[in-house]
Amino acid sequence: EYPLIITRGVLKEVEKHSMCRLNHGREISFLTLKLIRELQEKTEDILKEAEIDSLNIDSFKYAVYWAAKDSFRDDYRKKVKDEISDIDKEIIVTALFLSRSKYKGVPISSANILSPDSHIKKTVETLKSPKFGYTGIKVIPTRGDIRSYLRK
């Protein structure tokens, strides 16, 4: 029902984190890593075949830029020292774009972003607020067991 948008950048980050240890275990399990790799391949297929009506991607970029600023307005460290990356913003823009496109003639209407990044999570939450009013995007954290999110 919901396509999982897993960009190459997210896959690289997850692969890096899969080698890290957290509380005597792997931060990301091998099974989760395998699933993420498979889903990233499917994402590439979706991106190649998505039918995008003449949407204004600049409006999405503008909204994501300001939502990120609003999200970390009161958090100096995340606002100034550890600002949201261009890749994170691009992931969100891609999800917004796809959530308003068609795949094989069927409207997608919703896209999930698989990411461990708090910048993405908070920016998407802000985009979904009444101030911005965007719908159709959801963030699934990669830490822990992601299978429960796939059943919702």
Residue-level pLDDT at 75: 64
| pLDDT tens digit sequence for 16-28 | 888 888 787 888 8
Residue-level pLDDT at 87: 83
| pLDDT tens digit sequence for 38-96 | 988 988 888 778 766 556 678 899 999 999 989 888 765 555 557 888 889 988 988 88
Question: What CA dihedral angle connects 96, 102, 106 and 109, to 10 degrees?
Answer: 10
| pLDDT tens digit sequence for 96-146 | 888 888 888 888 888 888 777 788 999 999 999 999 999 999 888 877 666
* Pair 101, 60: CB distance under 8 Å: no
* Pair 136, 100: CB distance under 8 Å: yes
Q: Residue 149: pLDDT above 70? A: no
